[in-house]
Amino acid sequence: MTDAPFHVVALAGGILEPDFREAGYRVANKAYLPIGGMLMLERVLRAFRGSRSIGEIRLVTQPDAFGQAFARAGAALCDEVVAPGPGLIESVLAGCAGLAPGQMVIVSATDLPLLSPPVVDAFAAAARAVCSECDIGYGFVSRSAHVARYPQVRHTWVHLKDGVFCGGGVSVLRAGAVARAADLLRRVAALRKAPLRIALLFSPNTLLRMIFTGVSVAELEHRADELSGLRCRGIRCDEPELAVNVDRLADLRVVEEIVNKPVRAR
């Protein structure tokens, strides 16, 4: 892979989850939740905009919600606003529409409020190191790195031969491969919070080995290649901010404490 900049497809569609509504929030979806005086969506877009590794930024969200939240200031945060599709993968397809088939795209959630330009650059460097010939790259973070910095943040951990990991909120796709992988991605996306069910999707043998003997990242990559007909790789990047996301109200409260915590003078 060359040092050409990645494009970004940032996903901010969907509706607000019930626990946020019950807490009194009245926004289009969780990307528009305020944290420390700034909308979570703005925090994510500013992280990408400030990265030296990023070119074009496409935001997949409801155009009226984005316009109401940012008005003219929105033009500084992204290059294009694209209406979301009816599901996650359809929104990814919409975000990648019209891109050159060989363009490498970082697909990002927008509930990553601790993301920063240096973290984006670190992920881009890790992606370039392992994705020179890949079509799909899945970002993940080690438990040791995550717990060292954010022990209070909950996660679903996966035990592999290589270590214990959680998935990140960013992945890499080659634009031309998205449509070919859409069916598999839909199935994986539906199970993304249930790693054992994903293992069963790979095969019953993979599930049993994950439970009793363990599988390696390389073995999972190989099986993903077989299932998709594409070249799939894991992208380990031990920047825990890639995996600090806001799925529920309790997560929001934890992140608010992190963001609002006074910085000690050195």
- Domain limits of the chain? 6-260
pLDDT given for residue 132 in this prediction: 73
The C-alpha atoms of residue 245 and residue 57 are separated, in whole angstroms, by 20
Structure tokens at 95: 């975000």
Q: Render pLDDT for 183-192 as a digit per residue (tens, 0 to 9).
A: 766 666 654 5
pLDDT given for residue 193 in this prediction: 56
The C-alpha atoms of residue 19 and residue 260 are separated, in whole angstroms, by 22
Query: CB under 8 Å, gap of 24 or more: what pairs does 180-187 form?
Result: 180/135, 180/228, 180/229, 180/230, 181/135, 181/136, 181/228, 181/230, 182/89, 182/93, 184/227, 184/228, 185/89, 185/92, 186/87, 186/88, 186/89
Half-sphere exposure (CA, 13 Å, Cβ side) for 78?
Answer: 27
Q: Check if the beta carbon of residue 133 is closer than 8 Å to that of residue 168.
A: no
pTM score, two decimals? 0.89
Q: Check if the beta carbon of residue 118 is closer than 8 Å to that of residue 214.
A: no
Series of mean pLDDT values for 10-residue runs along the chain (266 residues): 86 95 96 97 98 97 96 95 91 93 94 97 95 85 96 89 91 88 67 50 42 69 81 93 96 95 57
The C-alpha atoms of residue 26 and residue 16 are separated, in whole angstroms, by 8
**Domain 6-260 is in which class?**
alpha beta
The C-alpha atoms of residue 209 and residue 164 are separated, in whole angstroms, by 15
pLDDT given for residue 170 in this prediction: 95
Q: Render pLDDT for 210-264 as a digit per residue (tens, 0 to 9).
A: 443 467 888 888 877 887 788 889 899 999 999 999 999 999 999 999 998 865 5
The C-alpha atoms of residue 101 and residue 121 are separated, in whole angstroms, by 23
